[in-house]
Structure 1
Amino acid sequence: MEEDGDNFVVDQPPPPPTEEELDRQDVGKLLYGCDHYRRRCKLRAPCCNEIFTCRHCHNEAKNALTNPKERHELVRHNVKQVVCAVCDTEQQVAEICSECGVKFGEYYCEICRFYDDNRTKGQFHCDDCGICRVGGRENFFHCKKCGSCYSVELRDNHLCVENSMKNHCPICYEFLFDSVKGTTIMKCGHTMHMECHTEMIHQNQYRCPICSKSVLNMSGTWQRLDMEV
């Protein structure tokens, strides 16, 4: 609402897009992107002023540099400029290209500067996490003590460890909180990548690497050993 002297002028909502505009928005859908995401724009990384399709592309390239001092990661919230993949116009972060009118992604989060044309992932933004998640908002809840979103099946059904997800996987050492890999919560409340947990079990390692508590119910095994003795 804007004030005009003693009168108040009510801002009118923008008119709905025309059929032609909607058709234009769909141009190139699912045809552009990278190995990580389907999207119709690229990001200009403010940290190095280079252009990458997504933050993962940036991080993979920069963390592979031979000079450790040059390695760095892109902070998603700091992105200010994007480049349209269809018309190659650079512009401020937005949902729709200011030049050709295509939609950069069927899913768009202004906070995370995140675009994705593949809506089958069930993307949603978690205000408490401060980042976007996948899997459908209805299937997750945010555990404030653990500091992350967990499956609704774990509500009142897991041991809370403060900020357990804001740590590195004890096996591969990748930061868990914003990892794109699936994670699992052990009985002790500590977390690790699901694939790392599976590999650990295959290696006959049944203790949490952090606290050494058993990650499986071993009572049956102990009973069999007692019978053998």
Structure 2
Amino acid sequence: MPRIHWLSASATVTRSLAMKSSWSVICSLCNNEQEVKQDCSNCGARLGKYFCGKCNFFDDDVSKNQFHCDRCGICRTGGADNFFHCEKCGCCYSFVLKDSHRCVDRAMHQNCPICFEYMFESARDINVLRCGHMIHVECLREMRAHRRFSCPVCLKSACDMSDAWQKLDRQVAASPMPAIQKKMIWILCNDCGAASEVQFHILAHKCPGCSSYNTRQTG
């Protein structure tokens, strides 16, 4: 069923009850009812500064640089010249990420792992994590405020943690374990996926393969 997305004060949308797929708009200036178009056929008033006939989308705030992506099937903001469509991920990304993002099938066609809003149609800013999963920028900010630095979906590090790992190196070196507690344990690295046998430490366990402390004890 067609949908009208309305962010304009120049018209009112109506839908025929007899034909559920038949939409019309009423000009707020002259009360003329017509099929969905950008301009009033009676008085010539522009019903929305931005209009997409494919999405039935009107918007008076053109500072958002709206554009329609045929492959996404929806209108987006930010300017068509600043985005490219990734076929594997099934969504538009900033050109900044063209050669650096990790593809995940239909990456944006998921709910945000924090607030559970469907991200493909979300108007809020979205961050692409190093692992390729997505999260709202404000949700990521809140997550970091609570000292959560791993992807809620796959548990890989959500950002460059090298400074934090160096700090942990110093803390571990400054806190040697008593000889009686120098037992060996198995860990799994959330970043590289390697399983390793390492010496137990009360603070953290470092992956010998990639030097990440984003690990969990498995045995």
TM-score by structure 1 length?
A: 0.67
Hey, what does 1:213 align to over in structure 2?
A: 156
Q: Does 1:43 align with 2:13?
A: yes
Q: Does 1:121 align with 2:91?
A: no
Does 1 or 2 have the higher relative contact order (CA < 8 Å, sep 6+)? 1
Indicate which of 105, 108, 131 corresponds to 2:51. 108
Q: Which runs of 5+ in 2 are unaligned?
A: 1-5, 173-219
Hey, what does 1:159 align to over in structure 2?
A: 102
* Root-mean-square deviation (Å): 2.0
Spell out, residue by residue over 1:9-50, the C-alpha distance to the aligned partner (whole angstroms, 9 max, x if none). xxxxxxxxxxxxxxxxxxxxxxxxxxx83441222367xx6x
Decide whether the 8 Å contact of 2:14 with 2:26 is kept in 1.
Answer: yes
Residue 157 of structure 1: SS of its match in structure 2?
Answer: coil
Hey, what does 1:186 align to over in structure 2?
A: 129
Identity among equivalent positions (%) equals: 45
Larger radius of gyration: 2
Decide whether the 8 Å contact of 2:12 with 2:28 is kept in 1.
Answer: yes
Superposed, which structure 2 residues align to 1:13-24 within 5 Å?
A: none
TM-score by structure 2 length?
A: 0.70
Decide whether the 8 Å contact of 2:8 with 2:47 is kept in 1.
Answer: no
Q: State the Cα distance separating 1:83 from its structure 2 match.
A: 2.1
By percentage of residues, which structure has more strand?
2
Q: Distance in 2 between matches of 1:151 and 1:138?
A: 9
Decide whether the 8 Å contact of 2:107 with 2:134 is kept in 1.
Answer: yes
Decide whether the 8 Å contact of 2:68 with 2:76 is kept in 1.
Answer: yes
Hey, what does 2:141 align to over in structure 1?
A: 198
Hey, what does 1:87 align to over in structure 2?
A: 30
Decide whether the 8 Å contact of 2:66 with 2:79 is kept in 1.
Answer: yes
**Number of residue-to-residue matches in the alignment:** 165
| Matched residue type, 1:123 | Q
Instruction: Pick closer, same or farther for the CA change 1:79–1:120 going to 2, 3 Å.
Output: farther
| Matched residue type, 1:207 | S
By percentage of residues, which structure has more helix?
1
Q: Distance in 1 between matches of 2:77 and 2:65?
A: 5
Residue 214 of structure 1: SS of its match in structure 2?
Answer: coil
